[in-house]
Amino acid sequence: MRVAVLGLGSAGARHARNLLDLGHDVVGFDPAASGPVGIEPAKSSADAIAQAEAVIVATPNSLHGHQAMAALDQGKHVLVEKPLATTAADAARVVDAATRTKALCAVAMNLRFHPGIVELKRLADDGALGTIRLARVSFGFDLQLWRPESDYRQGYSARAELGGGIVLDAIHELDYLLWLLGPAATVSAEVAHVSDLEIDVEDLALVMIGFESGAYGCVDLNFFEPAYRRGCTLVGSSAVAWWDWGTASVTTSRHGEEDRVVDVGCDVAETYRAELVDFLNAASRGGAPRTTAREGLAAVRAAEAVKSSASTGRRVLLGST
């Protein structure tokens, strides 16, 4: 397949390398980067889209919705780096474009391919935990350490105009929580900039989500934690399970029984490759990708509700997407 990659920063370059390794032809466009050896350069994003059968959008967040719609309007299959768009309205327009053109649109949520999340999903779906009543989700890492070879202040994560901030950058956590527990009904949140980071976006988010299932979720996200931390705990009526990034394990515990520990260590690079293969298979063979545009819209709606609740001081009610 001939695939266009829009944006050749860290995410786009990774997609391009994986595509080349998988034997695909790659045409790329980025006004500020050339990308890996083996990419055919395009004159513009429109030129790249026109030359390709499928398109990967890996530009700053603020461009995702517009570029996805441009590709979909030409009937091209599209994989959009998270988030699908920076607003729910734009994300909904992407979904409408995919529906209208009958082209595939997927969202790059690589944590759905991480064996830790996959194991939690299996436990939840199999009923091994009983009725899930509570989830606790966390992510934290110092933004200055994310890409130490570059100035964090210039990256999209640090800039409101490019769709930055911890809420959209860590939308993975909102997305996989929706994947595990189903549609959200209510969102209450606080967001703030509390660190010394020179950014004009929030670096902290504290979120409470009520789910249509009756479960509740607590989410804490930050841009300033000195050591990398990521994990999720699911509390069910008969057992509790927790995934810890640091120990690369999922532990299931129930009263009166020995804990069950599953090793979920992996090379994270493989999760990015897996999401790409999932998209390419869906594009070439039909069927749905693991993260659909409609699910990407649900995550953006949840992120938007987080910001709305924080700005108004009120709980936000969400309908099913």
- Whole-number Å distance between alpha carbons of 76 and 163: 25
- Give 139-176 pLDDT, tens digit per residue: 999 999 988 888 999 988 999 999 999 999 999 999 99
CB atoms within 10 A of CB 98: 22
Q: What is the pLDDT of residue 321?
A: 45
CATH (one of 1.10.150.20, 3.40.50.150, 3.30.360.10, 1.20.120.80) for 112-267+299-317: 3.30.360.10
3-state secondary structure of 211: strand
Q: Where are the alpha helices (DSSP H) in the chain?
A: 10-21, 45-51, 64-72, 88-101, 115-126, 143-146, 166-169, 171-181, 268-285, 293-312
Region 126-148 average pLDDT: 96
Given a contact cutoff of 8 angstroms between Cβ atoms, the answer to whether 3 and 20 are in contact is: no
3-state secondary structure of 246: coil
pTM equals 0.96
CB atoms within 10 A of CB 194: 12
CATH (one of 2.60.40.420, 3.40.50.720, 3.40.605.10, 1.10.260.40) for 2-110+275-290: 3.40.50.720
Given a contact cutoff of 8 angstroms between Cβ atoms, the answer to whether 107 and 84 are in contact is: yes
What are the extents of the domains in the chain?
A: 2-110+275-290, 112-267+299-317
Residue 255 has pLDDT above 70, yes or no: yes
Residue 175 — φ and ψ, nearest 5°? -65, -50
Given a contact cutoff of 8 angstroms between Cβ atoms, the answer to whether 25 and 1 are in contact is: yes
Residue 56 has pLDDT above 80, yes or no: yes
For residue 130, give both structure tokens.
């009983």
- Ranges 26-35, 177-186, 307-316: which has the least confidence: 26-35
At residue 282 the predicted structure's pLDDT band, cuts being 50, 70 and 90, is very high
Burial class for 259, CB neighbours closer than 10 Å (0-12, 13-18, 19+): exposed
DSSP string of 201-261, one letter each residue: S-SEEEEEEEETTS-EEEEEEES--SS-EEEEEEEESS-EEEEETTTTEEEEE-TTS--EE
Q: What is the pLDDT of residue 105?
A: 98
For residue 128, give both structure tokens.
């091994």
Region 242-265 average pLDDT: 97
- Whole-number Å distance between alpha carbons of 128 and 237: 10
- Whole-number Å distance between alpha carbons of 147 and 264: 25
- Whole-number Å distance between alpha carbons of 209 and 30: 37
Nearest-5° Cα angle at 14, 244 to 245: 5
Q: What is the pLDDT of residue 84?
A: 98
- CA atoms in the 13 A half-sphere facing the CB of 232: 27
For residue 143, give both structure tokens.
């933004």
- Whole-number Å distance between alpha carbons of 172 and 295: 12
Q: What is the pLDDT of residue 148?
A: 84
- Whole-number Å distance between alpha carbons of 4 and 43: 12
Sheet hosting strand 25-29, strand order edge to edge? 40-41, 25-29, 2-6, 54-57, 77-81, 105-108
